[in-house]
Structure 1
Amino acid sequence: MEAQAAQDRQDRERKRVEKFIERFRFKASKASQVQSRIKQLDKIEKIGQVRALPKLSFSFPKCESSGEVVLRGENIGRAYGDHHVLKDVSFILNRGDRLAIIGENGAGKTTLMRILAGE
């Protein structure tokens, strides 16, 4: 949407400058302004054609409500050799809860997600 709007704005500006050039091209008193506008027109980068993406629609089958406890993890751990990435991680995720997994690089975020996904 934004790319299409930017392209529309650019097209309007191009047309405005081209109209000025055509209108005053042969008028001696406006020659320097016309030359300036021609340079301005050359400097405007052409935004590539934006193609419309097809509309996507999703429908998910209605499923039964889960219990109060949606996900429980107890004493989760993972080590690579002597390096313990996760050690004794426990949590309970209840229905309606939101979860954010944050941490430094190498803290085990992806490892935890892979364990929860069953990989």
Structure 2
Amino acid sequence: MTKGNAFDPNCPTRLVLDRIGDKWTVLVVLNLCQGPMRFTQLKDQIGGVTPKVLTQTLRAMARDGLLTRHVFAEVPPRVEYELTELGHSLRAPIQAITDWAEEHVLQVMASRTGTLDQDE
């Protein structure tokens, strides 16, 4: 298989970038790097995500091979989500972007409000 080209408008690389650039995907990956989690655990850890959006995100990530969904034959059924090897490979780049965002959030917000000193 050849390498993709993100600058080619017809390349499916753009679909991959859409998936991994989604904030909910980023937060799911960061949480599942710690190990398998149930839906409610993920929802509580992420905060601010609706059940519908989290369900859509988890389904899309499973379809894209980034996580697996394990259903345990229990009453009531227990479902856990776990990153695949491909999903785990996102940890370093996503963590790097998250670290950058956390370090520079004040500068970005100041720029948005126009309060950033022009000499900074």
Whichever of the two has the greater Rg, that structure is 1
Decide which structure has greater helix share. Answer: 2
Decide which structure has greater strand share. Answer: 1
Q: Which has the higher contact order (CA 8 A, sep 6+)?
A: 2
Same fold (TM over 0.5): no
Could you say which TM-score interval applies, normalised by the shorter chain?
under 0.3
